[in-house]
């Protein structure tokens, strides 16, 4: 085995190892979403570094885009704040690189839209992302019909491509959505944009159950999950709970960088505690 193959194997397994450990402990993962560079590069770096200690298991880091079509107001504003403060794709990758110098276990998934990656250059982006320590990608506007654009090249670099399944994805289409998906599958809990309406747990549980009949991959649920209570309810039947807009709102409502960091990390801790305990005694 060559050195590069060894690195690739190590890299592809970070998400797998994480989910295996969680399964052994019979608890779901807490996945946090923050936009890279929000509210500015320095504070964003502090936020990122502190997430594992706050109890976050998997980090989703948003690559800000000027036209985030799938996002609600909270994450739209986060992207604008980051861009106004000079965030770029290169700076986002640099944040991951610097995080990896201190943490080699917490998986990082970059989430965003295709254009900034396309403009950066797909091959160059994947090479830089792999060497920075990125584990997976979620790219909202790349359906399986365009797998040759980024999904297949990402696999060559040992980067997982995590796809979204949605309430509109029917049984006929699901195999197509699942093909080439790795790491985990992200179930979008409501038809809509991020952070706006809350899903009903009953319908969600049945949707996740149906999804399980088609895949062995861990299933994360996100969009519209804002409170520790919601996270615990959904964590009982899913493998991971994603919280984004509620964390991002903490940034908007804080007035100093210290307050931003304090608010985000304390909400993350609260969510983590709730998610960790959600299957106990049941």
Binding residues (CB under 8 A) for another protein: these are: 65-70, 72-73, 76, 80, 83, 88-89, 113-120, 140-143, 145-146, 163-170, 173, 177, 188, 191-193, 196-197
**Beta carbon of residue 107, minimum distance to another protein (angstroms, whole number):** 22
User: Is the Cβ of residue 66 or residue 266 nearer to another protein in the bound state?
Assistant: 66
Shortest gap between Cβ of 108 and another protein (angstroms)? Answer: 20
Which of 118/279 has CB closer to another protein?
118
Kindly provide the b/e burial profile for residues 267-278, where b requires at least 16 CB atoms within 10 angstroms of the residue's own CB: bbbebbbbbbeb
Closest CA to 201 of 154, 240, 233, 163: 233
DSSP code at position 101: T
- Main-chain dihedrals φ then ψ at residue 145, nearest 5 degrees: -60, -20
Minimal distance, residue 160 CB to another protein, in Å: 17
Determine the distance from the C-alpha atom of residue 90 to the mean position of all C-alpha atoms in its chain, rounded to a whole number.
19
Q: Which is nearer to another protein, 132 or 164 (CB)?
A: 164
Q: What is the nearest approach in angstroms of another protein to the Cβ of residue 223? A: 10
Nearer Cβ to another protein, position 61 or 272?
Answer: 61
Helices (H), the chain: 3-24, 41-54, 73-84, 89-100, 114-120, 122-132, 151-156, 174-178, 201-212, 228-235, 245-253, 257-277
3-state secondary structure of 135: coil
Smallest separation (angstroms) from another protein to the CB of 176: 9
Q: Which is nearer to another protein, 80 or 269 (CB)?
A: 80
Q: Is 38 a catalytic residue?
A: no
Is residue 48 within 8 A of residue 76, CB to CB? The reply is no
Catalytic residue (one of 38, 57, 60, 147): 60
The verdict on whether 205 is a catalytic residue reads no
Q: Which residues pair with 84 in a beta bridge?
A: none
Q: Which of 5, 42, 67, 71 is catalytic?
A: 71
Q: Give me Rg for the CA atoms of the chain.
A: 17
Name the residue with tokens 């969680």.
22
The dihedral sign for the CA sequence 177, 107, 136, 168 = positive
Catalytic residue numbers, as ranges: 60, 71
């Amino acid at each position: 085995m060559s050195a590069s193959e060894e690195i690739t194997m190590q890299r592809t397994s970070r998400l797998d190892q994480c989910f295996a450990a969680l399964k052994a402990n019979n608890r779901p993962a807490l996945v946090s979403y923050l936009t890279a560079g929000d509210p500015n590069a320095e504070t964003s770096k502090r936020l990122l570094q502190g997430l594992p200690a706050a109890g976050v298991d998997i980090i989703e880091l948003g690559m800000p885009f000027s036209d985030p079509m799938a996002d609600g107001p909270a994450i739209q504003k986060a992207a604008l704040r980051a861009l106004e403060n000079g965030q770029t794709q290169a700076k986002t990758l640099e944040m991951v690189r610097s995080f990896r110098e201190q943490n080699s276990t917490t998986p990082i998934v970059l989430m965003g839209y295709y254009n900034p990656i396309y403009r950066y250059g797909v091959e160059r982006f994947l090479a830089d992302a792999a060497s920075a320590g990125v584990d997976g990608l979620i790219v909202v506007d790349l359906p399986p019909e365009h797998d040759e654009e980024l999904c297949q090249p990402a696999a060559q670099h040992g980067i997982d491509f995590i796809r979204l399944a949605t309430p509109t994805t029917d049984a006929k289409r699901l195999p197509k959505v699942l093909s080439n998906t790795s790491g985990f599958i992200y179930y979008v809990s409501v038809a809509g944009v991020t952070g706006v309406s809350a899903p009903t747990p009953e319908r969600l549980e049945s949707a996740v159950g149906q999804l399980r009949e088609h895949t062995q991959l861990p299933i994360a649920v996100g969009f519209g999950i804002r409170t520790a209570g919601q996270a615990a309810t959904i964590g009982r039947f899913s493998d991971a709970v994603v919280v984004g807009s509620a964390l991002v709102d903490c940034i908007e409502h804080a007035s100093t960088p210290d307050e931003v960091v304090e608010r985000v990390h304390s909400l993350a801790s609260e969510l983590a505690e709730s998610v960790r305990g959600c299957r106990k005694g049941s």
